[in-house]
């Protein structure tokens, strides 16, 4: 094969047309699979044997490359949109969002500034404003779609520290030797990760017997650490159990003490779209910042986290980057998403969600989220009724944690491996208080009661 010239690599030539057609044809087939394959990981040795040698001086051509991906690389990745994918927090993007994700890439849109991507930014803001309204935040609230919850939490806490520093300076008080973030032991690991990146400390406030953080525990932490606290974090749906903190109580204490209040709702806050669940999330309206991940329970493709601020101007102060080549963007009233988080270059990752919402309507989203909550309750009741199985805790959202009485971690792992090997489901063990347990994380509306009971049947 002869080397491709610089011009040919980008020009609309017969070869380029074949490449685009091959890729789009595969994307079409994958998006329209009637039965999504679960698939499973391969060993490094197997992948070395089957997939090595694809990067060459002259290239292997699109046909060989797409065949390699379709027949070797893709089957070695577990499909997170499979209805039997019940580990971690799954993803179940709508077909509309998947299809439009291709459009976003094909359109070569830069989503960091209004100047270059005003239409995309406008559409993303439509979604962010809708979410902010659903969460009870004021009309001026707004934000940005970032890569994921980790980046969302980090960006919010960086903004919180900047606001805390400015607040102390205005009062003529010095900044502390070490800043502190207050959260519960059940908070997502990304909070500790963000604190490590920021070189600040984490103070863990006590939770109740159900794992929920309350205002009185936060008040004690604030009494202990005083001006050093840059933010209090409440969790709206923990990853392991789906626990929702006493957001109203925590938020009231933070507001009373003048401390930034952040709500990490990466997984669970989407449940607030269900009318009967709103009381569970009372207090979100008090938040200075909040995140929710559409690639979890809002049925968008990876990767997307909606980061929303009560006062976006505070984020601008913390995150706007200064450089000569950026002078044309800064100091103007334009809504530049890159000024609201730590990422400068950004894909317009909110557009697939916008398209799906515009296509299907918000009522469909509410109903689909409610389906997961109802199914979790139903399978929890089934677990309780089965001999040898027991719930670790009643589900609050769509995560069901349970145990097979008498099993050790090695038994859980062997069962999990067998389940995946047989292409039945992907359910990996978790742990709670040192005890190995199992959990169903239900996101996909294609996950059925029959599928879940079939998994329970394999436990003996």
109-360 and 362-457 share one CATH topology? no
Which of the four pLDDT bands, split at 50, 70 and 90, describes residue 1?
very low
Task: Pull the structure tokens for residue 272.
Answer: 């607030």
User: Is the pLDDT at 334 greater than 90, yes or no?
Assistant: no
Which of the four pLDDT bands, split at 50, 70 and 90, describes residue 125?
very high
Q: Which residue has the higher pLDDT, 299 or 18?
A: 299
Evaluate whether 163 touches 173 at the Cβ level (below 8 Å): no
109-360: CATH topology is 3.40.640
Out of 7-11, 24-28, 304-308, least confident range: 7-11
Q: What is the pLDDT of residues 201-216, one digit of tens each?
A: 999 999 999 999 999 9
User: Is the pLDDT at 300 greater than 60, yes or no?
Assistant: yes
Which of the four pLDDT bands, split at 50, 70 and 90, describes residue 252?
very high
Q: Which residue has the higher pLDDT, 267 or 334?
A: 267
pLDDT of residue 11: 78
DSSP 182-233: EEETTS-HHHHHHHHHHT-EEEEEPB-TTS-B-HHHHHHHHHHHGGGEEEEE
CA dist 430 and 401 (Å) reads: 9
Which of the four pLDDT bands, split at 50, 70 and 90, describes residue 332?
low
CA dist 174 and 419 (Å) reads: 57
Which residues, 6 or more positions from 305, have their beta carbon under 8 angstroms from its beta carbon?
A: 145, 146, 147, 148, 149, 151, 152, 266, 291, 292, 293, 294, 295
User: Is the pLDDT at 232 greater than 80, yes or no?
Assistant: yes
Name the percent of the chain lying above pLDDT 70. Answer: 97
Mean pLDDT of 16-20: 89
Q: What is the pLDDT of residues 90-100, one digit of tens each?
A: 999 999 999 99
pLDDT of residue 330: 67
Task: Pull the structure tokens for residue 266.
Answer: 């990466």
How many residues can be counted in the chain? 460
What value does the mean pLDDT of the chain take? 94
Q: What is the pLDDT of residues 264-299, one digit of tens each?
A: 999 999 999 999 999 999 999 999 999 999 999 999
Q: What element of type H or E holds 255?
A: helix 247-257
pTM of the model: 0.94
Beta 201-205 vs 180-184: how paired, if at all?
parallel
Q: What is the pLDDT of residues 393-443, one digit of tens each?
A: 999 999 999 999 999 999 999 999 999 999 999 999 999 999 999 999 999
Domain locations in the chain?
Answer: 6-77, 109-360, 362-457
Domain with residues 362-457, CATH architecture: Alpha-Beta Complex (3.90)
User: Is the pLDDT at 129 greater than 70, yes or no?
Assistant: yes
User: Is the pLDDT at 245 greater than 90, yes or no?
Assistant: yes
CA dist 442 and 84 (Å) reads: 9
Mean pLDDT of 109-115: 93
Return the SS3 of 287. coil
Q: What is the DSSP letter of 57?
A: S
Q: How many CA atoms lie within 13 A of 4 on its CB side?
A: 17
Tokens 């932490």, located at residue: 221
Q: What is the DSSP letter of 321?
A: -
Dihedrals φ, ψ of 298, to 5°?
-120, 15
Which of the four pLDDT bands, split at 50, 70 and 90, describes residue 328?
low
Q: Which residue has the higher pLDDT, 50 or 322?
A: 50
pLDDT of residue 9: 75
Q: What is the pLDDT of residues 340-376, one digit of tens each?
A: 999 989 999 999 999 999 999 999 999 999 999 999 9
Q: What is the pLDDT of residues 144-155, one digit of tens each?
A: 999 999 999 999
């Amino acid at each position: 094969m002869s080397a491709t010239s610089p011009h040919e690599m980008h020009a609309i030539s017969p070869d380029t047309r074949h490449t685009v057609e091959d890729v789009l044809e595969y994307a079409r087939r994958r998006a329209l699979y009637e039965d999504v394959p679960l698939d499973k990981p391969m060993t490094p040795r197997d992948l070395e044997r089957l997939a090595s040698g694809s990067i060459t001086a002259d290239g292997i051509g699109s046909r060989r490359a797409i065949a390699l991906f379709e027949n070797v690389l893709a089957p070695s990745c577990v499909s997170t949109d499979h209805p039997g994918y019940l580990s971690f927090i799954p993803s179940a993007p709508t077909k509309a969002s998947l299809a439009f994700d291709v459009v976003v890439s094909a359109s070569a849109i830069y989503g960091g500034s209004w100047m270059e991507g005003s239409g995309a930014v406008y559409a993303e803001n439509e979604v962010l404003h809708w979410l902010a309204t659903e969460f009870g935040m004021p009309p001026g609230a707004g934000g940005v779609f970032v890569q994921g919850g980790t980046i969302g939490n980090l960006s919010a806490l960086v903004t919180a520290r900047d606001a805390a520093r400015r607040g102390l300076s205005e009062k003529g008080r010095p900044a502390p030797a070490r800043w502190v973030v207050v959260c519960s032991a059940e908070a997502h690991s990304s909070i500790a990760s963000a604190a490590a990146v920021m070189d600040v400390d984490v103070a863990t406030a006590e939770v109740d017997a159900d794992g929920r953080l309350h205002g009185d525990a936060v008040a004690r932490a604030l009494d202990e650490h005083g001006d050093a606290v840059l933010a209090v974090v409440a969790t709206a749906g923990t990853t392991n159990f789906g626990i929702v903190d006493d957001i109203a109580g925590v938020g009231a204490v933070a507001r009373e003490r003048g401390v930034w209040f952040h709500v990490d709702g990466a997984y669970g806050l989407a449940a607030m779209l269900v009318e009967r669940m709103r009381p569970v999330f009372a207090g979100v309206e008090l938040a200075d910042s909040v995140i929710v991940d559409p690639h979890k329970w809002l049925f968008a493709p990876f990767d997307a986290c909606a980061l929303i601020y009560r006062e976006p101007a505070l984020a601008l102060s913390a995150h706007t980057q200064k450089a000569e080549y950026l002078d044309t963007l800064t100091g103007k009233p334009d809504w530049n998403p890159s000024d609201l988080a730590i990422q400068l270059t950004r894909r317009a990752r909110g557009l697939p969600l916008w398209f799906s919402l515009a296509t299907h309507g918000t009522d469909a989203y509410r109903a689909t989220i409610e389906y997961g909550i109802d199914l979790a309750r139903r399978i929890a009741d089934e677990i309780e009724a089965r001999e040898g199985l027991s719930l670790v805790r009643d589900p609050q959202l769509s995560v069901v944690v349970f145990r097979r009485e008498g099993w050790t971690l090695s038994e859980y792992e062997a069962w999990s491996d067998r389940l995946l090997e047989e292409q039945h489901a992907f359910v990996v063990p978790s742990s709670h208080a040192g005890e190995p347990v199992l959990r169903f994380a239900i996101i996909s509306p294609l996950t059925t009661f029959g599928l879940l009971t079939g998994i329970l049947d394999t436990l003996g």
